[in-house]
Homo-oligomer: A and B are copies of this chain.
Amino acid sequence: SRLEESVKKTVEENPVVVYSKSWCSYSAEVKSLFKRLGVEPAVIELDELGAQGPQVQKVLERLTGQHTVPNVFIGGKHIGGCTDTVKLHRKGELEPLLAEAKSK
């Protein structure tokens, strides 16, 4: 579908992408983590897309199996949600991924 193509394009063209909801604290946590790491993700606030919001959330579920926010991609690869991203960082694996995505 056209929406699916547009989501795929977004995650391929941006090193870091966060599908988020503007009033969600888990989404805020992951956005602020990237900010602390000096990374500026492309942020898509699903609650600001009107009727497209739920549609994009459905496309993401089809593409990643994940229906929740935040939904994080690095270097075109699906990372997961807030907990997954924080876990990667605690293991020291997040910054290498970010560096590699930036260099692409």
Contact = CB atoms under 8 A, between A and B. Distances in A.
Interface of A: 24-26, 82
Contacts of A25: 24-26, 82
A25 B68 CA distance: 10
A32 B65 CA distance: 25
Nearest to A81: B25
A8 B100 CA distance: 54
A80 to B, nearest CB: 13
Contacts of A82: 25
A24 B82 CA distance: 13
A80 B24 CA distance: 17
A64 B82 CA distance: 29
A26 B26 CA distance: 7
Nearest to A28: B26
A25 B24 CA distance: 9
